[in-house]
Amino acid sequence: MNRKAVLVCTFAVLAGLLTGCAYKDIDKRFFVTSIGVDYSKNPQKPYHVSLKLAIPSPQVQPGKTKFQLITEDADSIAEAVRVMKSKVDKDFDFGHCRVLVFGREILRKHQAEVLNWFMRRRDIQGIAYMALGDPTAEKVIKVKAKSERLPSNAIILSFDETSNDSPYIIPEILNDFYMRLKEEGIDPYLPVIQPLKDTYAINRVVLVKGSRLSKELNMDETRILNELLNTDRRGLIDVKKDENEFFVNVESFKTKTTVVIPRNTKPYVNVHIKIDGYIESSEKKLSHNYELLEDQRLASEVISNRVKSTLETIQKIGSDPLGLGLKYQAKHGVSEDKVKKWNKIYPHIQFKVKTDLKLRGTGIMY
Amino acid sequence: MANQQKIVSTLKEQLGNSSDFKIQDIDSFRKKIILVYIESLIDYKKINKDLIEPLLFCEKEDKYLVHLLSLPPCRQLKTGDNLLSLLIKGNLLIITTDSIFSYNAKKASNNQPGDSSVEMAVLGPQKALSENLSTNINLVRNRYPSENLIMEQQTVGTMSQTSIALMYDKKLVDHDVLRDVKKRLPEIKMDMIQAIGQLENAMTKKKHHLFPIMMITERPDRIALNLSQGKVIILMHGTPFGLIVPAVFFDFMASMDDTSHTFWSSRLMIAIRYIGLLLTLVLPALYIALTSYNPEVLRSQLAATIAGSRAGVPYPSFFEVTFMMLAVEMLVESSMRLPKAIGPTATTVGGLILGQAAQQAQLVSSIMIIITAFVAISNFTIPVNPMSFSIRVARYPLILLASFFGMMGVAAGLILLICYLTDKRSFGTPFLRLYWGSSRRIEKINEKPKGEQG
Amino acid sequence: MARYFYMIVFLNMTVHIIFNVPLILIQNRFNGAVISMALSIVIGTILSYMFIKAMSKYPYNGLPEIFMDLLPAYIRVPFLIFLSLMWIAAGSLAIGSFAYLIKLYLNPEMDLRIILGFLVLVLLYGSTRGTQSILYKVEITILTVSPFIAYIIFKALTSNYFYPVHIKRALQYSLEMPNYSSVAAASYIFTGYINLVIMNRNIQAKRILKHFWLIPVLGTLILAFTYFIPFGFLGIKSIGDFVLPWMVTVDTIRMEYGFIERASFLLVMIFMQLSILFAIINWNVGLELMKSALGIEDRKTGKRLFTLVFLGIVGFLTVYFQETLNQRSYFEAVKIWFNLRLPVEILLVLALSLLSLRRKQA
């Protein structure tokens, strides 16, 4: 029996010696909460990497977040991170890095390399949110939001559907971005974050054409794109025609998009929108049902027109965030000449938008 | 005549001059009758009523002898009987000229069942077993009035000669188990056996075992229930506990209250118990693994809180855990045997003041205090005491594995634990296996394959 | 009891993700993976039916006992040893692949040798338990793990980042010629039944046949899920960029209300339970086969020593084998094993069926 005990002890000690190196307490790690990558204007060291490091404190209070921002220029992100390690007292832990912000220039010039580093690291979460920093990523990361309990938490919360369902925010995660970039027939997009004094503004989205950054959509177009992407974010639709102005609070918004390639006529995209909603505010009193139905018809028309013009804007930019190409491929084949054929069709394709709006009621008042 | 004297003198010699050894000569029927007994073991009232009074009323010796033999606890001895051991077991010897009778007049001690204090039930029966074997057998018989209930009496312990009773339902019992028990009982070589736990340990073959394979209970209702499940019960004289054989893992997680609650509330209680079991087992290990190896598993907010509260702690997390676990174990251990008057003081000082102070002095993180309390509380949800002790012990290998291998160690530790438990057999019955299509009776293992006890 | 059998089959079906079967299929996604899968469902079902049918003729007999009466020693012993090594190799390869996963996702700073060494020690304890005990453990593990598997699949299918259109696109490549290595890999999913060579001592094969329909149904479902779900998240092009497509897929899932947010850790824990269990079963079967081949009787003094020495050597070789190879060549080795496994399995099933037919006539 004694021999067994000795054996167990030896194993334990041996195991302890061998594995001691992997043991690192949570307070000996620096949590990187967001990474920003900009172009540094120096072609030798193009990557301007900034890391936001959380400094944990025993008391967690809103607005009392402490963080440290360190930046470095290097010829690769990996190199930058390595150099930055010498600037701090603890090891970086990227496990809680949920926000990746990029500058416009770096994505124009080195998108593939940047993305490769993030995808390859196992500790960068696939569900990390990606965004474009306007004017630069560093400025976005620098912001200390008033309501934050944790560094970068404000951005995470705004992207999180369970805490913020603003229709102007279109979140994009790393894995999805990568898939959209690689796949032909669907293009990625990035939400644009603008730093304000104590908070951020996220209300636009930048589209990507092929693999290059392209134009931004304005707020309204962003909202409509969001609705077309079938996310669970809902908003308000304002309708104005002549004297009659009212707002529709959207309860559910569903779109069905199909690509139709008829034999003889021109190909078109069928967009069928189904909306359920209530009147939230209205200039005039809606005392009769026919007035409500009239509003309903009016709103459908307005929405259809808006969606159509947004789709045409996107088409003009040449990007395809809705994945219409994928739908075409699913029906007609994935081969290369099919893809080429689609690329020829897409710039001239027509959009037929049909909206089924159902106004469920007028709220508390008539 | 000479014979009578000779026996008495031998006995006197053997017992020495123990002052409670009494010899009483009675002259009647013109003959001498000698009563020999040990005073402290004998119930006087019983002797008076059964032996002395009839003696005065009887006119003839023959008639008296008939009376004697008609008494149930009285019998005529043969030449080979060991008088001394009979005396010690509380018999009174009646030595007449021609023959010797023994009369069991043992004073019953502690034969009142007390309130159950170890396994409490809110709505179940409130009385526990007593310390008297015959009372206990009586209790069990009352609760299990079946003609199939068999009781066999034996003694264990070479010196203590403790009498035990083996009880089982002959129709339902698993005969392999019964055979095994009957084989193991005579193999026990121990001088003094006074507690049922000793018997349990003596009957378990393996020296180093962690989980109990027999269940100790003080509840007659649990005993009756287990009899109906085909188990074997061992009752021992002098302890208010019975031993149930075999016992499987799930028995230790069952409380007698489960049967008296409504369906959903009992389900909730059972669920809480299993959650408690899991928490008390893995929480400290999980803390080490998550703070020192895999903080990325946690939510960011939680990770930040832990990191913040750990920021001032100078020691690595496993010291923290070991320290707090030690404190809690000491608290439990000390309050267990403290007199009831001091108990609350100890818990207050230990639990509240120590915990608070340790956290304020930044020796441990506040999260660790929560975990410690959680672990202690959830440990108490396990309804059967020996199991809760075993789980307490099983926690430590997990802590060790967690501090060497992180999450992988915790998961591997749980795998090893389940391997250990499923490989365990309680008298041939698998200790941990899931039963399906629950029958109220123990499942007979029909598909027992060759060479392997299933 | 038959349920243990189905649990082992289910275990084998889920564990193939660790073996990177989806990767082999995904590499062949443009070269007839879909047809290969369909083919392997047919092959797997037929093989398992034949095998179970044949085994049910010998109630409570393992393969060694069956061979004992029917084959001469000079065929029986080498064949059993060969089979035993195949089983042991399966366990070792699984645990080796899993060690890579641990190294990548759970303990990146720990030495791979230590990770694998530790896992091998766990296996040493687990696989030397009795077969019946292992069956109990199988049941417990499968029951605790399957709700989580169901949860992950549910989460995946309802995710915003799951694009069914990719699956439709992948199906465009259905009508390609199947290739051998895809068939060999995909048919692996059904191979759980083969553990009956030893488990037949504890499980009544006759009862299994009652619910035999479960095998093709479960197999088809799981194969479809494991092959197609990654496409839905990663598309048909970028999916080729990943070593462990399933881990990346699950990393796209966020559990908004879960105790932990990243689903990938949940998956790693599930894999840990399953792959260790799988390796335990395989080593146990391999060990039992080896013991019967060499005629080492149960409960004799030599038994413990032999198992420890034998499995110790196996464990050492497992670590050594992984030490000498890098990840790429390791997965190549797995592929070779897959390609070897299918003919061996077919041979075994055919041999046994023929033997059982002879028994019927006699």
Contact status of B310 with chain A (Cβ, < 8 Å)? yes
Over pLDDT 70: what percentage of chain B? 94
**Which residues of chain A does C261 touch, with a Cβ-Cβ cutoff of 8 Å?**
127
Q: What is the pLDDT of residues B218-249, one digit of tens each?
A: 888 889 888 888 889 999 888 888 999 888 88
Q: What is the pLDDT of residues B268-304, one digit of tens each?
A: 988 999 999 999 999 999 999 998 888 888 888 888 8
DSSP B207: S
Both structure tokens of B61: 């010796």
Contact status of B77 with chain C (Cβ, < 8 Å)? no
Nearest CA in chain B to A124: B296
**Which residues of chain B does A96 touch, with a Cβ-Cβ cutoff of 8 Å?**
295-296, 300, 303
User: In this model, does residue C301 exceed pLDDT 80?
Assistant: no
Domain that holds residue C23: 2-361
User: In this model, does residue B439 exceed pLDDT 50?
Assistant: no
What is the phi-psi region of residue A188: left when phi exceeds 0, alpha when psi lies from -120 to 50, beta otherwise? beta
- CB contact (8 A) between residue C115 and residue B408: yes
- CB contact (8 A) between residue B291 and residue A96: no
Residues A117-128 have a mean pLDDT of 87
Q: What is the pLDDT of residues B9-54, one digit of tens each?
A: 887 777 777 777 878 887 776 777 888 888 777 877 878 887 778 7
pLDDT, position B452: 39
The three-state secondary structure class of B76 is strand
pLDDT, position B391: 92
Over pLDDT 90: what percentage of chain C? 20
- CB B380: neighbour CB atoms within 10 A? 12
Short-list B220, B152, B234, B161, CA closest to B194: B161
* Element of type H or E holding B169: strand B162-169
Q: What mean pLDDT, rounded, does chain C reach?
A: 86
pLDDT, position B285: 93
In three-state form (DSSP H/G/I as H, E/B as E, the rest C), the secondary structure along A337-365 is: HHHHHHHHHHHHCEEEEEEEEEEEECCCC
Contact status of B430 with chain C (Cβ, < 8 Å)? yes
Q: C13 vs chain B: nearest CA distance in angstroms?
A: 20
Q: How confident is the model at residue B419 (pLDDT cuts 50, 70, 90)?
A: very high
Both structure tokens of C63: 């393969």
Cα A298 to chain centroid, rounded: 32
pLDDT, position C148: 92
Look at chain C and report how many structural domains it folds into: 1
Short-list B116, B248, B242, CA closest to B177: B248
pLDDT, position A9: 66
Apex C87 CA angle, C84 and C90, nearest 5: 150
pLDDT, position A11: 63
DSSP B384: S
**Which residues of chain B does A31 touch, with a Cβ-Cβ cutoff of 8 Å?**
295, 300, 303-304, 307
Smallest Cβ–Cβ distance between B300 and the set A1, A22, A150 belongs to A150
Q: Where are the domains of chain B?
A: 2-104, 133-246, 258-426
Q: Which residues of C touch A (CB under 8 A)?
A: 104-105, 107-111, 114, 118, 160-161, 163, 165-166, 168-169, 172-173, 233-238, 241, 248, 251-254, 256-257, 261-262, 264
pLDDT, position A1: 47
The tokens 């890095």 sit on which residue? Answer: A97
Nearest CA in chain B to A94: B296
**DSSP one-letter string for A282-302:** ESS---SHHHHHHHHHHHHHH
pLDDT, position A163: 83
**Which residues of chain B does C126 touch, with a Cβ-Cβ cutoff of 8 Å?**
415-416, 419
pLDDT, position B448: 39
pLDDT, position B76: 80
The three-state secondary structure class of C76 is helix
Beta strands in A134-210 (DSSP E): 189-195, 200-209
User: In this model, does residue A21 exceed pLDDT 70?
Assistant: no
Q: What is the pLDDT of residues A148-193, one digit of tens each?
A: 888 888 888 888 888 888 888 999 999 999 999 888 888 899 999 9
- CB contact (8 A) between residue C132 and residue B299: no
pLDDT, position A148: 81
Residue C171 belongs to a domain with what CATH number?
Answer: 1.20.1740
pLDDT, position B396: 92
pLDDT, position A130: 92
Which residue would you say has higher pLDDT here, C325 or B89?
Answer: C325
Q: What is the pLDDT of residues B302-350, one digit of tens each?
A: 888 888 888 888 888 888 888 888 888 888 888 878 887 777 787 777 7
pLDDT, position A4: 61
Q: Which chains form contacts with chain A, at 3 or more CB pairs under 8 Å?
A: B, C
User: How high is the ipTM of this complex?
Assistant: 0.92
- Given a contact cutoff of 8 angstroms between Cβ atoms, the answer to whether C258 and C267 are in contact is no
Q: What is the pLDDT of residues B119-156, one digit of tens each?
A: 888 888 888 888 888 888 888 888 888 888 888 888 88
- CB B109: neighbour CB atoms within 10 A? 11
The three-state secondary structure class of B320 is helix
The three-state secondary structure class of B175 is helix
Q: What is the pLDDT of residues B141-196, one digit of tens each?
A: 888 888 888 888 888 888 888 888 999 988 888 888 888 888 888 888 888 888 88
DSSP B127: B
The answer to which of B9-23, B413-427, C89-103, C315-329 has the lowest mean pLDDT is: B9-23
Give me the helices (H) in C28-130, please: 33-56, 63-70, 73-105, 112-127
- CB contact (8 A) between residue C163 and residue A126: no
Q: What is the pLDDT of residues B51-108, one digit of tens each?
A: 778 777 777 777 777 887 888 778 787 776 777 777 777 788 888 777 788 888 777 7
Over pLDDT 70: what percentage of chain A? 93
pLDDT, position B131: 86
Q: What mean pLDDT, rounded, does chain A reach?
A: 84
User: In this model, does residue C299 exceed pLDDT 70?
Assistant: no
Q: What is the pLDDT of residues A290-301, one digit of tens each?
A: 888 888 888 888
Over pLDDT 90: what percentage of chain A? 12
